[in-house]
Structure 1
Amino acid sequence: MPLWIVIGVAAAIFVLVIVLAATFNVFSAESAEETDAPWEPLPHDFTAEDLEGLSFRPALRGYRMEDVDDVVTALRTRIHELEAARGQQ
Structure 2
Amino acid sequence: MLKHASKRHIHASPFPGATWMVIGLLGTTLGMLCSALTVLTGPGPALVIVPVGLLVLAAQLLWAKNFLQTVRQSRGTWSTRSSHGA
- TM-score in terms of structure 2 length: 0.36
Higher share of residues assigned strand: 1
Which has the larger helix fraction?
Answer: 2
